[in-house]
Amino acid sequence: MRNFKWTVHNALYLLKYYRPWGREEDLPHGLVFIFDPHRNHPGLLDRLKGVVGSYGIAIENNLDFKILFEPGSSIPNYIEPNKINWKISPSEISHNIFHIRLTNYYGKGDVQQLKNKTGQYHLYNYVGHDLRMSNGVKNNHELWTRDYNALFRPTKMLNSCLEEFPHKPNQYIAVHVRFVNALELQETRYSQRPLCENERLQLMDDCIRSIMILAEQEKSPALVFSDSNIFLEECRKRGVNTLEGNVGHISYHSSEDVVRKALVDLYMISRAKAVYQLNCEHLYKSAFSYYGALIGGKECKRVEINKLING
């Protein structure tokens, strides 16, 4: 179904954005990941996973790789090119139908063979899957860390935000708890609905007890990350460390403060001594802390709350 839908999308893109004439000379060649401002995009980590996976395809095909963020995107304010200069301007995008090819990132299956070396491949359609993980590549974690950090580094603005916190690298543990809608309705497209009050209170209590156990085991203070402002406020009331700022899902709220908070959280997770993600029936196995840990070259340990409390 997705293949058919993306075929239709690509046909519409060709009709809308491309012509059988136009400038070809002096334009960059290679694979261009294009964030279409008219499309709904997934969360931050799914976007970054799509980008990193597509960069892996470019590597396999010996192609240059570029990223065109949508106009007004806040993401480039906080992460910038590191070893790979992926920046490209709208004026460097070819609209000549004979100079471009459209391709998609499926996040699974064989690595695409892109044989047109003299023009641009434009990629609008993607999913937030890790292609190497899907294909069972043994060292996929190390390769993802390598590729992400070749593409991105924090900007001065993001580094300034990180340095404001008293939590210094490798002197705290990061504990991530993803509730989605268990405590409050955050993602309307997700089927889960909030628990009743007693269940919500019990779930938060179990999570905080688990965080304290992990901090004791690691003999380091815990810094808590979550998608729930209700839970983060409860942590603060009980003296558990959190970062300031309201969390939000950038698929629904893409304001700069939401983007900044997401990237600050991601990089603070990457700087932790150890990274944990709490799991239980009502919690979501998130990619956020998992790949945040990989950015820092670390492992994210997923722990079951019941085993931790009763163990």
Q: Please provide the size of the chain in residues.
A: 311
The predicted model gives 218-247 an average pLDDT of 94
Mean pLDDT in the chain? 92
- So what's the pLDDT on residue 266? 97
pLDDT single digits (tens) 29-64: 999 999 998 888 888 999 999 999 999 999 999 999
Spatial neighbors of 119 by CB under 8 A, at least 6 apart, are 24, 29, 94, 98, 99, 100, 101
98 and 26 both lie in a single domain:
yes
Q: Is the pLDDT of residue 117 over 80?
A: no
- So what's the pLDDT on residue 1? 65
Whole-prediction pTM: 0.93
Number of structural domains in the chain = 2
109 and 15 both lie in a single domain:
yes
d(C-alpha 274, C-alpha 182), whole Å: 26
- So what's the pLDDT on residue 47? 96
Q: Is the pLDDT of residue 189 over 80?
A: no
Which of 65-79, 104-118, 203-217, 238-252 has the least mean pLDDT? Answer: 238-252
- So what's the pLDDT on residue 190? 62
115 and 177 both lie in a single domain:
no
- So what's the pLDDT on residue 261? 94
- So what's the pLDDT on residue 238? 96
88 and 184 both lie in a single domain:
no
Q: Which of 266, 277, 268 is nearest to 299 (CA)?
A: 277
The predicted model gives 100-105 an average pLDDT of 96
Residue 191 pLDDT level (bands cut at 50, 70, 90): low
Q: Is the pLDDT of residue 119 over 70?
A: yes
Q: Which residue is associated with the tokens 């990089």?
A: 267
State which of 154, 177, 205 marks the end of a domain: 154
CATH number at residue 254: 3.40.50
185 and 227 both lie in a single domain:
yes
State which of 154, 177, 203 marks the end of a domain: 154
175 and 280 both lie in a single domain:
yes
15 and 115 both lie in a single domain:
yes
99 and 218 both lie in a single domain:
no
Residue 249 pLDDT level (bands cut at 50, 70, 90): low
140 and 81 both lie in a single domain:
yes
- So what's the pLDDT on residue 40? 85
138 and 232 both lie in a single domain:
no
- So what's the pLDDT on residue 294? 97
**Looking at per-residue confidence, does 245 or 148 come out higher?**
148
Question: CB count, 10 Å around CB of 37?
Answer: 11
Please give the full DSSP string across 258-306, using - where no structure is assigned: HHHHHHHHHHHHHTSSEEEEEE-TTS---SHHHHHHHHTT--EEEEEHH
The predicted model gives 127-148 an average pLDDT of 95
State which of 101, 119, 154 marks the end of a domain: 154
232 and 140 both lie in a single domain:
no
- So what's the pLDDT on residue 187? 66
69 and 200 both lie in a single domain:
no
| Domain carrying residue 35 | 2-154
- So what's the pLDDT on residue 252? 63
